[in-house]
Amino acid sequence: MELSAVLFDRDGTLIVDKHYLGDPEGVELIPGTGEALGALHSWGVKTFVVSNQSGIGRGYFPESGWHACEKRLGELLAPFGAAVDDERFCPHGPEEGCRCRKPDTGMWESLKTAHNLDASRCAMVGDKVEDLLFGANAGLAVAVLVLSGKGEKSAEKLGLDAEEVRRQGFLAVSCPLPGKTQSGTRLFAATNVRTAVEGLLAIALFPSEA
């Protein structure tokens, strides 16, 4: 697989999930995040954030809180030679029926148009079943579930063995996604964002071994 871009969920994947985070003081990198995004940058792979942020629509924090947190994320990534190239967020609740909330693909379509992205060269990394579905619905080449954040509960929902994931660090998985009968997206599970990126780069650099 030729890897040109990786899309990341934010809360629980790149940063510690603080639940409706709108205060930049609460932004805390999950260990390995800086190194992971720095590695992608060194290989010329673009990085994007796609995040459901219903706390905005629910009035828990203003949209400016999202932007302040993203600015802080950038500051924390900078010492690692890392950065987020662009981001999209959905401010709506699940009951609003929008097209931008994962697992729907509005955020992907927006990034695809803005950056001329090719789904066959992109991957999705997140800690929820919705993130895997988002990757599959968008037709991305790969979707990776990490065990950080809500990842262990998500693995349980999908019938995955979290202990085996921890032992191997990164492995291919086969599991039915809710509401998805067929998908060309390859599914993997990883301990955290760092092992996810290491696995993705290995697939990209040594495809015959994947």
- Domains of the chain and any CATH numbers: 5-209 (3.40.50.1000)
Task: Say which DSSP state 209 is in.
Answer: G
Rounded to whole angstroms, how far apart are CA atoms 127 and 102? Answer: 12
Residue 134, pLDDT above cutoff 80: yes
pLDDT, residue 204, reads 85
Q: ∠ at Cα 197 (73, 19), nearest 5°?
A: 40
pLDDT, residue 97, reads 87
Q: pLDDT, tens digit, for every residue of 169-206?
A: 999 999 889 887 667 999 999 999 999 999 999 998 76
Q: pLDDT, tens digit, for every residue of 44-86?
A: 999 999 999 999 989 999 999 999 999 999 999 999 999 999 9
Dig out the tokens for 48 from the structure: 């994007």
Q: pLDDT, tens digit, for every residue of 89-114?
A: 999 988 888 999 999 999 999 999 99
Catalytic residue IDs: 9, 11
Dig out the tokens for 111 from the structure: 């990034």
pTM confidence score: 0.95
Confidence of residue 34 (pLDDT cuts 50, 70, 90): very high
Type of residue found at 200: L
Residue 1, pLDDT above cutoff 90: no
Query: What percentage of the chain reaches a pLDDT higher than 70?
Result: 97
Rounded to whole angstroms, how far apart are CA atoms 202 and 123? Answer: 13
